[in-house]
Amino acid sequence: MTVTSRTPLQSDLEQLPHLLQLALQESQDFLQALPEQAAHPGLSIPTPEPLSETGLGAEAALSRFIQRYRHTLSGSAGARYLGFVVGGSTPAALMGDWLVGAYDQNLSNETTGATAVEREALGWLRTLFGLSDAHKGSFVSGATMSNFVGLAIGRQWVAHQKGINAALEGLQGLNVQILSGAAHSSVFKAASMLGIGRKQIRQVALLPDREAVDISALETALQQMKGEPCIVVANSGTVNTVDFDDLNLIVALKERYNFFLHVDAAFGGFAACSPRHQHLVDGLNDADSITIDAHKWLNVPYDSAMQFTRHQFLQAEVFQNAGAAYLGTVTENPDFNHLTPENSRRFRALPAWMTLAAYGKQGYQEIIERNVESARNLGEKLGKTTPFELLAPVRLNVVCFTLKNASSMQDIQAFLHLLHQTGEVFMTPTVYQGRAAIRAAFSNWRTQDEDVERVFQALVQTAEKQNH
What are the residue ranges of helices labelled H in 244-305?
Answer: 247-253
In whole angstroms, give the CA distance from residue 311 to residue 365. 29
Q: Is pLDDT larger for residue 273 or for residue 43?
A: 273
User: What is the crossing angle of helices 91-103 and 349-383, to 10°?
Assistant: 150
Kindly report, residue by residue over 357-395, the tens digit of the pLDDT: 999 999 999 999 999 999 999 999 999 988 999 999 999
Q: What is the pLDDT of residue 291?
A: 98
One DSSP character per residue, 53-122 reads SS---HHHHHHHHHHHHGGG---TTSTTB-STT-----HHHHHHHHHHHHH----SSTTSTHHHHHHHHH
Rounded mean pLDDT, 203-225: 97
Tell the CATH topology of 92-354.
Answer: Aspartate Aminotransferase; domain 2 (3.40.640)
Contacts of 449 (CB under 8 A, 6+ apart): 374, 377
Contacts of 359 (CB under 8 A, 6+ apart): 90, 92, 367
- Please, are residues 206 and 214 in contact by the beta-carbon 8 Å criterion? yes
Kindly report, residue by residue over 103-146, the tens digit of the pLDDT: 999 887 778 899 999 999 999 999 999 999 999 999 999 999 99
In whole angstroms, give the CA distance from residue 302 to residue 319. 23
Q: Which whole-number Å values give the CA distances from 398 to 121, 270, 457, in the listed order? A: 27, 13, 18
Query: pLDDT-based confidence at 328, cuts 50/70/90?
Result: low
State yes or no: pLDDT of 4 exceeds 70: no
User: Which residues, in sequence order, are bridge partners of residue 232?
Assistant: 179, 261
- As a whole-number percent, the residues of the chain with pLDDT over 90 amount to 88
Q: What is the pLDDT of residue 326?
A: 46
Cis ω for the linkage preceding 303 (within 30 of 0): yes
Enumerate the domain spans of the chain.
Answer: 92-354
State yes or no: pLDDT of 332 exceeds 80: no
Q: What is the pLDDT of residue 437?
A: 97
Q: What is the pLDDT of residue 45?
A: 85
Kindly report, residue by residue over 24-49, the tens digit of the pLDDT: 999 999 999 999 889 988 778 899 99
- As a whole-number percent, the residues of the chain with pLDDT over 70 amount to 97
- Prediction pTM value: 0.95
State yes or no: pLDDT of 325 exceeds 50: no
**Of the candidates 274, 223, 224, which has an alpha carbon nearest to the alpha carbon of residue 253?**
223
Of 11-25, 333-347, 428-442, the poorest mean pLDDT is in 333-347
Average pLDDT of the chain is 94
Q: Which whole-number Å values give the CA distances from 132 to 125, 128, 232, 251, 288, in the listed order? A: 11, 11, 21, 16, 12
Query: Which H or E element spans position 316?
Result: helix 312-319
In whole angstroms, give the CA distance from residue 265 to residue 237. 6
Query: In what side-by-side order are the strands of the sheet with 178-180?
Result: 136-140, 305-309, 289-293, 259-264, 230-235, 178-180, 201-203
- Find the farthest-apart pair of alpha carbons in the chain and give their distance in angstroms, rounded: 87
